[in-house]
Amino acid sequence: MRAIEPRRYVVYVAFLLILAFFAATLSDDGFLSEDNLLNIVRQTTPVTVMAVAVVFVLSAGEIDLSLGSVVALSALVTAEVMKTQSAVLAVAAGLGVGLATGAVNGLFVTLLRLPSFLVTLASLGIVAGLARTITDLRSVAVDDQSFIDIFGSGDVGPIPSLAFWALGAVVLGHFVFRHKRFGAHVVATGDDAGAARATGIRVDRVRFAVLVLSGAAAALAGILYTGRLEAATYTLGEQDLVTVIAAVVIGGTRLFGGEGSVVGALIGSLIMGTLTNGLILWGLSTSEQLIAQGGLLLLAISLTLREPRRELA
């Protein structure tokens, strides 16, 4: 029998408790209304998409700090290109920003053997600067209706199209992470790179791939923001890095590699989104929300992440 780890289920219980808490305290403010619940799904989709990729990144023992700035640059590039070109080309250009940034990050990490923390810290600055430069801090509006329907406010029946993006990312991510050899190699690389290499896993290829994946996911998130807001601006994604990493880590992925959960990351993302939503309905100001979120994050990670003390092996 597989041992049951209670820590694994804490996150699900926490999610239900938070839902129940807001449902009880905010029942008059429409917290449980269909509109509001769908809103939570819409608002969390970009974070969920990035969280799925970050499960791979953290599990492989890497980190990608450039996420937030890639969101902004890819959003702006998509919107800019759409002014003169087709939406398809614009989306491709936006995704290209993410793939290129991820590839550059990956090359520095694998070829020059630099820590991803520092490489992506540098690219965070470069990409954020580019995002501010290309439109001179101006927002760019988008009016292609089919683009907006697919990537933003459209619905399929009663379900927002954004929910399909989140669901698609989670299903595909979970399948690859849990059921494909690549997922196993990612986890082994983050667990013990030396052991992984000795058993023939191409560790550098894994590292490169997860960084490209996270660049692509951040770019998609930027495109999804652009669709929902019908405009792109350089501040998109600015606050997302912390939210994404919090979601992933609350969801049971080890910050230092070797273990991860895509489904957990989805729940983590929903927890973060539900908190924000509930705090807004409570009437907290943006600054108060930050304080409350920080406090709750500390509480959450204290409950879920505290490493059990292990005897020295």
Partner 1 sequence: MSAPLVRIEGLRKEFRAVVAVEDVTLEVSPGEIVALVGDNGAGKSTVVKCIAGVHAPTAGRILLEGRAVEFSSPLDARSQGIEVVFQDLALASAQPVYMNMFLGRELVKGPLRRLDREAMAAETKALLDGLDVLVESPHRAVRDLSGGQRQGVAIARAMYWAQRLVLMDEPTAALGVAETRRVEEQILRMRDGGRAILIVSHSLDQVFRLAHRICVLRRGRQVGIRRTSETTGDEIVAMITGLRDAD
Tokens of 251: 């969801």
Specify the stretch interacting with partner 1 by CB under 8 A; choose among 1-9, 109-117, 136-144, 147-155: 1-9
Residue count of the chain, please give it: 313
Task: Work out how close the CB of 190 gets to partner 1 at its nearest, in angstroms, rounded to a whole number.
Answer: 9
Task: Work out how close the CB of 172 gets to partner 1 at its nearest, in angstroms, rounded to a whole number.
Answer: 12
Instruction: List the interface residues with partner 1, window 45-64 (CB under 8 A).
Output: none
Q: Which is nearer to partner 1, 185 or 228 (CB)?
A: 185
Q: Which is nearer to partner 1, 113 or 158 (CB)?
A: 113
Residue 195 neighbours by CB under 8 Å, 6+ apart: 188
Residue 82 makes contact with partner 1 by CB under 8 A: no
- Distance CA(313)–CA(311), nearest Å, equals 6
8 Å CB contact between 55 and 257:
no
Instruction: List the interface residues with partner 1, window 141-200 (CB under 8 A).
Output: 178-181, 183-185, 187-188, 191-192, 194-200
Residue 8 makes contact with partner 1 by CB under 8 A: no
Residue 201 makes contact with partner 1 by CB under 8 A: yes
Three-state SS at 26: coil
Tokens of 295: 């406090």
Q: What is the dihedral of CA 175, 180, 183, 187, to 10 degrees?
A: 120
Instruction: List the interface residues with partner 1, window 245-264 (CB under 8 A).
Output: 254, 258-259
Tokens of 132: 């501010």
Task: Work out how close the CB of 209 gets to partner 1 at its nearest, in angstroms, rounded to a whole number.
Answer: 16
Judged by CB under 8 A, how many residues of this single chain contact partner 1?
27
- For residue 227, which of 80, 96, 79 has the smallest C-alpha distance? 79
Task: Work out how close the CB of 267 gets to partner 1 at its nearest, in angstroms, rounded to a whole number.
Answer: 21
* Terminal Cα distance for the chain, rounded: 24
> Contact positions toward partner 1, by CB under 8 A?
1-3, 178-181, 183-185, 187-188, 191-192, 194-201, 254, 258-259, 310, 313
